[in-house]
Structures are given as C-alpha cells and as structure tokens.
Amino acid sequence: MSAAAREVAALVRPGQRVCLTTHVNPDGDGLGSEVAMVHLLRGIGVQAVITNPTDTPDRFAFLFADLPGVDQSRQAIKELRRADLVIVLDIADLSRLGNLGETVRERGVPVICIDHHVGPGDLPDGPRFVDVAAAATGELIYLLALALGWTVTPAVARALYVALMTDTGGFRFSNTKPRTLHVAAELVAAGVDTEQTYLDVYANAPIGRPRLLAEVLQTLVVEEDCGLAWVTVAPGAVERHGVDTDDLDGVVEHARSVRGVRLALLFRPMSAGRVKVSFRSVGKVDVSALARNFGGGGHTKASGAAITGTLDDVQHAVLEASRQYLTTGEVPVPSPAHSASVA
C-alpha cells in the first residue's frame, strides 16, 4: 500500500489538469471520495475538477457547497480531453464510466485507480491503490492521505465519512471491519458532525421519496421456501413521483430485512430496453457471482446489473437463476439473449 501511495504521489504535481471521475449514477462513496480528493489535492497546490458521466444526486449536493465550479460533469468530455492526469475512483472498468469510457481510454495520459472492488479492471495504465478488504473507497483515500502526510481537514473528513457511512449502510453491513470503524473514529475526531451529516444524506428527502417507497413495497413478493424476495419499480414511477433514481437507494434493503430471506432483488425498468437489477444477500450468499452471470458485478452482498430485455423476461430469467442458486448453490448460465452491463 505504501509503494502504491508513492506511485500516486509521484504523478500528482502542481500545474496539471487533473480530472476526477467515478461510475454512472454516482453514490455516496464515489462522490465523497471525489470531494475529499479535491480538498486533499488543493492542500498540496493541485487543482482538480470532477467529471462524472451522470449528474450528482440532489441529496449529495451539500458536499459541493464550498467547492463552486468544481463539478464539471456537464462538460466532462471537454475537460477529460485536455487532462494531464485522470483519477478514477470506486471502479476499475471503463464500462462503468458510461459515455466517458472511450474518452478516458483515448486520452493517453496516466490513469490512477483507487478502488475496493474485486477484479483487475481494464483502465489505461497507471498506479493502482486497491484493497478489496476496504469497506469503501473513502477508507482508502484516508489511508492514502495518512501515508503521504496530506492534511485531513474537516471538509475532507466529512466527505470521507459520507463515503464510509453510505457504503456500510450506516456501519451496519458486514463490510464494516475494525479498520473501518477506526478510520471513522479518526474522521469524527477531525471534525465531522455525525448527526448533521446523517441528516444531510438521509433526512432531506423530497415528499415523493416515501411515496415511491410505499408504492414499490406494495409489490413485495417473498418465497419463504428458498429465502427469495423481490420488489419491482413500475415503469414511469420515478418520474410520476417527481424524484430520481437515487431516491430508490435502500428500497431493496426492506426486502432483505424480511425474516428468512437470503437473497433480495429490486427490478427497475431503464431506457433503451434494459432493466436494472439490484442484488442483496444475507449470510453466505454471494450475489456478485450471480450478478456476474448477467454481465454485472459488485460486492459479495451487494451487486447490480443492467440487463437487456423486457421487464417480464428479465424477471423470469433472474428469478429462475436465483431460485436455482439458492437451492443448489450453483450459478446457472443465463441465456445469451440477456446480455448486460454492470450498473
């Protein structure tokens, strides 16, 4: 880790055009890590901009309050085409960068990757600061700052705390390890207001979010014999309630919370004839193995895939595969018609 940290530091120099980016539909870990890196880089005299493939969800806008103009996602391709250095956070695959993937590949500059997911990825050459044992990429950003002697200001600490809090489900998920809690304690000591940060992320919802939740939970189906549960988002429901897809965050956890459930799924129709499937598990069920067979991926207990097909067809294929997996422990090979991409 220290060697990787030195490789990262060797590439970061004042006067460069540095672009930070993360996956489509950025979450608290990706955004918190980006914002923390902006503050850390400014602390050593390096300016950077954030260039994401999709917009920042409203509930994370507070992270940017003291960084006017830093989020250049609306002109990300323009910024990336003149970048001297690209730092990719929370992913290692070009496909997760959406329409920015080809630009990053063609730019021909070093690409630093800081990530905690399984798999080597296919990013262009550059230093890799990766640890799959980390609960969040934000945890690695803290360790990087510690290794390099970069100052963790209250703004850095708050952004990293958001990264840890969101990727561990408020420190409830099994990825919460002793090191995770140690890092969180250090961040609180650095000035994080834990209650206000929680309120900023989780208690600032538009009225449409609980109404959407109520509608989706009406679709809950539980198969007690195999420990499978799923919920479905109706086509157009997100738009009808005046919210965005980020407001579905955590909905699948309600299905997972049912007694006896080992695998929970959320189905959401997307554009271009695809369906987003969120996989969540309890105990020893590895949903990343199941998601990978549909072209997706992620973590052992939280993964996702965007699968081509109608809602009915995708549900049928994923549910059949899930039942077989829960019953036999073997992951079936899906039909070639159900090609997919990680989401």
Q: Look up tokens 């103009």; give the residue.
A: 69
- Helix (H, G, I), strand (E, B), or coil: what is residue 242? coil
0.85 exceeded by pTM: yes
- The Cα angle at residue 250 between residues 27 and 187, in degrees rounded to 5: 50
Residue (of 33, 129, 118, 114) closest to 296 by Cα position = 118
List 71's β-bridge partners, or say none.
50
- The whole-number average pLDDT for the span 224-241 is 97
For residue 56, is it left (φ>0), alpha (ψ between -120 and 50) or beta?
A: beta
The DSSP 8-state label assigned to residue 75 in this structure reads: G
Alpha helices in 168-297 (DSSP H): 178-189, 194-202, 208-217, 237-240, 251-256, 287-292
Q: Where in the chain is the domain with CATH 3.90.1640.10?
A: 2-202
Q: Are 301 and 257 in contact (CB under 8 A)?
A: no
- At 334 the pLDDT is 63
- The answer, yes or no, to whether residue 222 has pLDDT greater than 90, is yes
Separation in Å, CA 40 to CA 100, 132, 142: 24, 23, 10
2-202 CATH: 3.90.1640.10
Residue (of 82, 76, 83) closest to 111 by Cα position = 83
Q: Is the alpha carbon torsion for 39, 44, 46, 52 positive or negative?
A: negative
Separation in Å, CA 235 to CA 209, 269, 273, 319: 16, 6, 12, 19
pLDDT above 90 as % of the chain: 85
Q: Is the alpha carbon torsion for 140, 144, 146, 151 positive or negative?
A: negative
Q: What is the pLDDT of residues 54-110, one digit of tens each?
A: 999 999 999 999 999 999 999 999 999 999 999 999 999 998 999 999 999 999 999
- The whole-number average pLDDT for the span 236-244 is 95
- At 339 the pLDDT is 44
- The whole-number average pLDDT for the span 264-285 is 94
Q: What is the pLDDT of residues 176-190, one digit of tens each?
A: 999 999 999 999 999
Distance of alpha carbon 35 from alpha carbon 50, whole angstroms: 8
Q: Where in the chain is the domain with CATH 3.10.310.30?
A: 208-341
* DSSP structure string for 79-147: HHHT-SEEEEES---GGGGGGGHHHHHHH-S-EEEEE-SSS---PPSS-EEE-TTSS-HHHHHHHHHHH
**Residue of higher predicted confidence among 39 and 339:** 39
208-341 CATH: 3.10.310.30
- The whole-number average pLDDT for the span 254-262 is 96
